[in-house]
């Protein structure tokens, strides 16, 4: 199944929307409500086909939900958010219909606008020999 790439990514949820930041590239990703609900299950190790089975129990679930979940999972792997894992899949939890009240489109949007700002974070410039912030030799005089 899958596991979250916590070595390169940071994840949080705000108002039901997932936010993932790649701390090595500065790219951030936004998940819609449906995408966040499915991502939470994938991140917990649930099998995509089992997730599709749970989703199909919801009213108005589209017939192609299995393909949508597989495509979404592949997209998350290609972006490095999820890592393929050899552990057997967990059973998914039942979904709350409210997460899908806007539809069953599983969306992960990619943003580069603040990439430079994220990478300019002074934490990335810490020198273990001098502490934080590290001063250049000519600044020490």
pTM of the model: 0.81
pLDDT tens per residue across span 80-126: 999 998 888 789 999 988 889 889 999 999 998 877 776 665 555 55
Domains contained in the chain, number: 1
Q: Taking each helix axis from N to C terminus, what angle separates 33-43 and 65-78, rounded to the nearest 10 degrees?
A: 70
pLDDT value of position 131: 53
Phi-psi sector, 96: left (phi>0), alpha (psi -120 to 50), beta: beta
The pLDDT of 2-31, averaged and rounded, is 93
Counting residues of the chain whose pLDDT is more than 70, the rounded percentage is 83
pLDDT value of position 138: 52
**Token representation of residue 17:** 């929307």
Residue 42 to residue 93: CA distance in whole angstroms: 11
Domain containing 63: what range?
A: 2-139
């Amino acid at each position: 199944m899958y596991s979250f790439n916590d070595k390169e990514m940071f994840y949080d949820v705000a108002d039901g929307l997932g936010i993932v930041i790649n701390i090595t590239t500065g790219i951030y990703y936004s998940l819609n409500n449906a995408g966040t609900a499915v991502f939470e299950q994938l991140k917990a190790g649930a099998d995509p086909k089992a997730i599709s089975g749970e989703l199909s129990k919801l009213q108005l679930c589209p017939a192609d939900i299995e393909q949508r979940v597989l495509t979404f999972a592949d997209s998350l792997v290609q972006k490095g958010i999820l890592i393929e894992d050899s552990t057997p899949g967990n059973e998914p939890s039942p979904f709350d219909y409210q997460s899908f009240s806007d539809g069953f489109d599983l969306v992960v949007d990619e943003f580069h606008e603040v990439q430079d700002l994220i990478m300019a974070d002074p934490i990335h410039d810490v020198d273990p020999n001098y502490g934080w912030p590290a001063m250049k030799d000519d600044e020490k005089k």
